[in-house]
Amino acid sequence: MRPSIVRGRAWRWVLVAFLFAGPGSAAVLSAHAAGIRIADLMVTNSEESLGVHAVLLGPIPPQMLEALETGIPATVRFTVELWQYSRFWFDRLVGTKLIERTVTYDVLTKEYRVTAVKGDERPPQVTKTLNEAQRALTMLREPRLVPFTTLKPDELYYVRVRGEMQSAQDSSIVRFLPFVSSGRDESSWERSPLLTIRRGQ
């Protein structure tokens, strides 16, 4: 088969996929372009443990916001990883922590409620404004990521964090047609500088 024919058929498949996706594909591209990201990543060092502070920035996906306003919960997850740096070999994953929170909207009281689900001990927070709910949902303050007893003072470490927004609304169409817009967005990994473990510093 001639190369020109192969290229022609390939372009036809791309065109068919785009037309079948319709406006949903444009929504995915625009959401990906806007995106969410981890910012202000800071690793703290107390007398007993290593902590992490960060914030998840970016717009709430429109589908997630629409579902939330009808009473469907939404979730934000932080995946926090601690790595031991190796100059001559592969870096070693020391530990992983998943921090998960949900937000619900009561259509009767018009209140948002942010609740810790996993890896977080903060009490539920209730607010009338979406901005305050989003702030409580996306601020990561984990003062006790890992105790020093599990770490080596002379080794180099770094932390990396990723965030995810997900609506509880599920659709079988999205699972089988990934180019159709959904209420989920995920950030890329953000990595801290290399650090050493020194108690009390």
**pLDDT tens digits for range 78-105:** 999 999 999 889 999 999 999 999 999 9
Residue 12 lies in a domain: no
**Which pLDDT score, from 0 to 100, does residue 34 have?**
55
CATH number of the domain to which 164 belongs: 2.60.40
- 148 CB-contact burial (10 Å; exposed 0-12 / middle 13-18 / buried 19+): middle
pLDDT at 2 over 70: no
Q: Give the domain extent around 69.
A: 35-196
Looking at the domain assignment, is residue 21 inside a domain?
A: no
Is 75 contained in some domain?
yes
51 CA to centre of own chain:
18
Are 122 and 140 in contact, with CB atoms under 8 Å apart?
A: no
Query: Percent of the chain at pLDDT above 90?
Result: 46
Torsion of CA 25, 31, 34, 40, to 10 degrees: -140
Bridge partners of residue 95, in order along the sequence:
82
For residue 25, being part of any structural domain is answered with no
Does 72 reside within a domain? yes
User: Does the pLDDT at position 39 exceed 70?
Assistant: yes
Q: Give residue-wise pLDDT tens across range 105-155.
A: 998 999 999 999 998 878 899 999 999 999 999 999 887 888 888 888 889
Q: What percent of the chain has pLDDT over 70?
A: 74
More confident residue, 192 or 150: 192
Phi, psi of 38 (to 5 degrees): -85, 130
Largest CA distance in the chain: 70
The mean-pLDDT minimum among 1-15, 62-76, 138-152, 163-177 falls in 1-15
Question: What's the pTM value of the predicted model, to 2 decimals?
Answer: 0.73
pLDDT at 193 over 90: yes
So what's the pLDDT on residue 17? 31
Cβ 46 vs Cβ 65: under 8 Å: no
Flag whether 16 is in a domain: no
Identity at 137, one-letter amino acid code:
L
Considering the domain boundaries, does residue 29 fall inside one?
no
| Beta-bridge partners for 116 | 101
Q: What's the burial of 140, exposed, middle or buried (CB within 10 Å: 0-12/13-18/19+)?
A: buried
Residue 108, both tokens: 């009767």
Beta bridge partners of 100: 77, 118
The confidence score (pLDDT) of residue 35 equals: 84
Number of compact structural domains in the chain: 1
Per-residue pLDDT, averaged over 30-52, amounts to: 79
Q: Is residue 127 in some structural domain?
A: yes
**pLDDT exceeds 90 at position 161:** yes
The confidence score (pLDDT) of residue 194 equals: 93
Q: What is the pLDDT of residue 5?
A: 35
- Nearest to residue 76, comparing CAs of 41, 56, 57, 101? 101
Confidence of residue 71 (pLDDT cuts 50, 70, 90): confident
